Structure 1
Amino acid sequence: MTTMKSVRTGAAGKVDVVDVERPVPGPKDVLVRMRACGICGTDTYFVHLGGTPYSPDGPAGSVVPLPLGHEPAGEIVEAGAEVTDLKAGDRVVVNPQGVPSGIIGCGGEHGAMSEYLLLEDAEIGRTVAVFPDSVPFDVAALNEPMAVARHCVNRSEAKPADKVVVFGAGPIGLGATIWLKLRGVEHVVVADVIPSRLETALAVGADAVVNSAEEDVTARLTELHGQAADSLGRPRAGTDIYIDAAGVAAVFHATVDAAKWGAKLVMVGVQKKADIDLGGMLRSELTLIASQGYPTEIFEVTPEIVEHHERFARLISHRVPFAEVERAFALAVTPGASEKVVVTFDDPE
């Protein structure tokens, strides 16, 4: 039996590196040698928990270990006999939701934080997209989170003349900022509490930043976007669209306090529980729009990441070799220790 290294959830807050059987592709499958894989907030949730609570076979409340990794980029090393549009040597990004064995790294049979990844029923445009060697694998591994950010921007329906604020300068918020600017939106503000993140926001194209730990958000947005009013004529900021990429209750409060008549709030950050001032929303006729995943965007983003890969590369704060994967996850689960961690794999021999 040929084995490979694979990362799974261990005890709560830890990961285990285990030896597992290296997959063998069937006639419609491809085997991908991993070259880079990002660590996401969903991964850290599973790591904190020690697995997934979603097993249909276990008792209620049980936690089941699972393979990790759903932000992969790699190189095909073997293609099944019936695969006609892919070949060994192709550099690919992956749709984690495009395989029949379950979502890769999120409860499915396979995880991409492994030396090799099996993709069943592989097909360009559904399972994978091919990208050129001009793009580093670590940047290509941003394809999945940037699809999440793109869906959020698509849901906002932002137009060039709109004034937008993005709360949260993590990978999704910064990705949304890039997509907004590439969409032609003239003025995008990014709010966060960490100065280094705000510096990155400016570097990727934000027109202004707000340190929400030190500044009055409503006053600052009014200064930047002008003054408008709610339905009762009370002064409000002239911001058209608020994007919550932070997932904290304070974003809702800040938005309701600042929102003018007819503003939108797009929620892409995962909220736990938040007390919402429904009366305040009513007085602004604030539209709440939820954004989940990437129904159509997973490969819509790939050509533009290729074109603007140097800009997207700024989102990566740490590149950690697979041999030190435990350190990579320790960085990712520690608040404030990193922005975006990408695990890299050695070049093929």
Structure 2
Amino acid sequence: MATMKSLRTGGVDKVEVVDVERPVPGPRDALVRIRACGICGTDVSFLRAGGMPARAHLGGEVVPVPLGHEPAGEIAEVGAEVEGLKAGDRVVIDPTGHPSGLIGCGGTQGAMSEYVLIENAEIGQNVAVLPGHLPFAVAALNEPMAVARHAVNRSEAGPGDKVVVFGAGPIGLGVAIWLKLRGVRHVVVADVIPSRLAKALAVGADAVVNSAEEDVTARLTELHGQAANALGQPRPGTDVYIDAAGAPAVFNTVIANAKWHAKLVMVAVQKKGADIDLGGVLRSELTLVASQGYPTEIFEVTPELAEHHERFEKLISHRVPFEDAQHAYQLALAPGVAEKVVVTFDD
């Protein structure tokens, strides 16, 4: 039996490398050798909990979670019935839709491993082939950039719109990039960490707001002009707000600033509930749109990710070899220390 190294949760705020059986592809499967895998906020939540509650009774025994759902790699083996894939092809994987469960999110496999099995491999359904010039570390951004693209699709922002993105983490910055590539007129990114705001400008945002130090209302009015809510009260002329921060203060800020028929897209997971001024929602006729995952976007983004890879590469703050995975996850756990950590695998 061939084995491989795989990473899983190893207790609160810890990971452990374990030897597991290397998957063997069936006739309709493909085996992928992982070359890079990003660390996501979901991974961090698993670490903070020390794993995942057993599904039989949520809140029961916490079980280890194989980590990693943002992989890029190359085909090592293909089953006899697989079409269009061959050994050596560079690929990205959709971690959803596998019979064994979500890769890296409670399924039996995690992509922070030397190999991952694509079950029932089919191009355009659960795998996409990459151009040769796209670095594996950037290709590993495909999954989070699909999340960001879905938020932009849900926003329906167009060239004439003025948009604010709250949160300059990888998703928020990805949203800003997709908005500008779509030709959106003016994109502002708000955050409280100066280095992230500098990164937002580097990837193409038109302006930034440090919401810890600046008057958000005054700054947005300066940038987007003055409008009003349904009662005629003055409000910034911002058309679309996108919450990629997941902080209660964002909701309150948006409601306080929303003009008549403004829109709020929620892509971040709310970590803590907030008291919402429903009267403020009414006064602006604010539309709240939820954005979850990437129903159609997982491979929609791949060609543009490759075309604009130099811009997307700016999102990566740390590249850490698999041998130092514990350090990689400690970076991701530390608030404000890292932006996007990508674990790389040696040839």
The TM-score range, normalised by the shorter chain, is over 0.9
- For 2:98, the equivalent position in structure 1 comes to 99
In 1, Cα distance between equivalents of 2:324 and 2:25? 28
- For 2:40, the equivalent position in structure 1 comes to 40
1:60 is displaced (CA, Å) by 4.5
1:52 is displaced (CA, Å) by 1.0
In 1, Cα distance between equivalents of 2:12 and 2:5? 20
- For 1:123, the equivalent position in structure 2 comes to 122
- For 1:12, the equivalent position in structure 2 comes to 12
For 1:203, give the aligned amino acid.
Answer: A
For 2:122, give the aligned amino acid.
Answer: E
- For 1:279, the equivalent position in structure 2 comes to 279
In 2, Cα distance between equivalents of 1:58 and 1:74? 35
For 1:66, give the aligned amino acid.
Answer: V
1:125 is displaced (CA, Å) by 0.4
1:99 is displaced (CA, Å) by 1.5
Give runs of aligned pairs for residues 173-252 of structure 1, distance below 5 A. 173-252=172-251
1:322 aligned onto 2:322 = yes
- For 1:112, the equivalent position in structure 2 comes to 111
For 1:326, give the aligned amino acid.
Answer: Q
- For 2:62, the equivalent position in structure 1 comes to 63
1:98 is displaced (CA, Å) by 2.9
> What does the per-residue CA deviation read over 1:202-222, in whole Å, with 9 as the maximum and x for residues that have no partner?
011000000000001111000
Identity %: 75
Q: Aligned with 1:75: secondary structure?
A: strand
Q: Which runs of 4+ in 1 moved over 6 A?
A: none
> What does the per-residue CA deviation read over 1:155-177, in whole Å, with 9 as the maximum and x for residues that have no partner?
00001000000000000000000
* Number of residue pairs aligned between Structure 1 and Structure 2: 346
Instruction: Check 1:285–1:330 CA distance in 2 against 1; reply closer, same or farther (3 A cut).
Output: same
1:124 is displaced (CA, Å) by 0.3
For 2:18, give the aligned amino acid.
Answer: V
Q: Aligned with 1:178: secondary structure?
A: helix
- For 2:29, the equivalent position in structure 1 comes to 29
In 1, Cα distance between equivalents of 2:213 and 2:83? 57
1:119 is displaced (CA, Å) by 1.0
Give runs of aligned pairs for residues 285-300 of structure 1, distance below 5 A. 285-300=285-300
1:325 is displaced (CA, Å) by 0.4
- Cα RMSD of the aligned pairs, angstroms, is 0.9
Q: Aligned with 1:153: secondary structure?
A: helix
Unaligned 5+ segments in structure 1 are none
For 1:238, give the aligned amino acid.
Answer: G
Give the TM-score normalised by structure 2: 0.98
Q: Aligned with 1:346: secondary structure?
A: coil
Instruction: Check 1:227–1:59 CA distance in 2 against 1; reply closer, same or farther (3 A cut).
Output: closer
In 2, Cα distance between equivalents of 1:164 and 1:307? 24
In 1, Cα distance between equivalents of 2:283 and 2:36? 48
In 2, Cα distance between equivalents of 1:19 and 1:45? 23
For 2:118, give the aligned amino acid.
Answer: L
Unaligned 5+ segments in structure 2 are none
In 1, Cα distance between equivalents of 2:241 and 2:342? 28
Give the TM-score normalised by structure 1: 0.98
Q: Aligned with 2:6: secondary structure?
A: strand
In 1, Cα distance between equivalents of 2:188 and 2:57? 46
Moved more, 94-103 or 204-213: 94-103
